[in-house]
Amino acid sequence: MDVYEAIKNRRSIRKYLQAPVEWDKIGQILEAGKAAPSCGNLQDWRFIVILDQKKREQIAESCMQQHWMARAPVHIIVVGEPEKSKRFYGIRGERLYTIQDCAAAVQNMLLMAHALGLGSCWIGAFDEDALRNLVSMPNEIRPQAIVTIGYADEQPPEPPEYTLENIMYFREYGGQGNRVKDIPKYSGDYAERIQRTAGKGKDIFSRMMNKLQLKK
Ligand SMILES: Cc1cc2nc3c(=O)[nH]c(=O)nc-3n(C[C@H](O)[C@H](O)[C@H](O)COP(=O)(O)O)c2cc1C
């Protein structure tokens, strides 16, 4: 499966088959998480793997009673170490980089799970203190997300998405004047222009080479 396919076809899965997940697949998902970029390569994340049924039920309860979660055979809690990035990057590290680092790790995990034929879901709605107590997390560690993993028992449709025209600007933020209508057409023209320019460059280059060889 190529990256684009994995990105495009991954869906949040909230119904799981009651089949265990092979340990080597869990390992590959964790490896994918730890391969994410992080600020100054601090890797200010930790991953807590939960397989125990009772614990998964308690976690689901702490996630605003999202009881469906307990049926996912694997939970991975991604926690951040903001104190670590604060030491290097001050308030920006503490309040922003750790969150971004963990988010990058979570997205890698979701994509890897999908590429391995598994379903997953990113869970961000939880009672931080309740979750903290469940897994004996010290105060300086902040839970960022829970990833549920298992074999999917549903095929959700692609959710609605904004078009590129709606979310991108050229030159500066906002303003209708900076919006591009019909991006595929624009990028088609642009690609053609690049090809033509590259072609011209090649002609000029070979003519120059010929001249140089004649001079020799
Ligand atoms: C930060 C964040 C928090 C989320 N929290 C939850 C959650 O608590 N429960 C849930 O069912 N889905 C949660 N999701 C999943 C989104 O609902 C889902 O990604 C979105 O609806 C798009 O669907 P898709 O993942 O199938 O593309 C969360 C996603 C993100 C990025």
Helix axes 82-92, 98-115, angle to 10 degrees: 120
Q: From CA 176, how far away is CA 62, in angstroms rounded?
A: 44
Minimal-distance CA residue to ligand 1 atom 6: 123
- Please tell me the predicted confidence (pLDDT) of residue 108: 98
Interval 30-70: pLDDT, tens? 999 999 999 999 999 999 999 999 999 999 999 999 999 99
207 pLDDT more than 70? no
Residue 189: pLDDT over 90: no
Q: What is the pLDDT of residues 135-166, one digit of tens each?
A: 999 999 999 999 999 999 999 999 999 999 88
For the Cβ of 122 lying below 6 angstroms from any atom of ligand 1, the answer is: yes
pTM for the full model?
0.86
Q: Interior CA angle at 34 toward 125 and 133, to 5°?
A: 40
Model pLDDT, residue 171: 86
End-to-end CA distance of the chain: give it in Å, rounded: 52
pLDDT at position 205: 56
Per-residue pLDDT for 17 more than 80? yes
Cβ of 124 below 6 Å from ligand 1: yes
Q: Can you state the angle between helices 23-34 and 98-115, rounded to 10 degrees?
A: 140
Ligand 1 center to residue 11 CA distance, Å? 9
Pocket lining: 12 vs ligand 1, CB cutoff 6 Å: yes
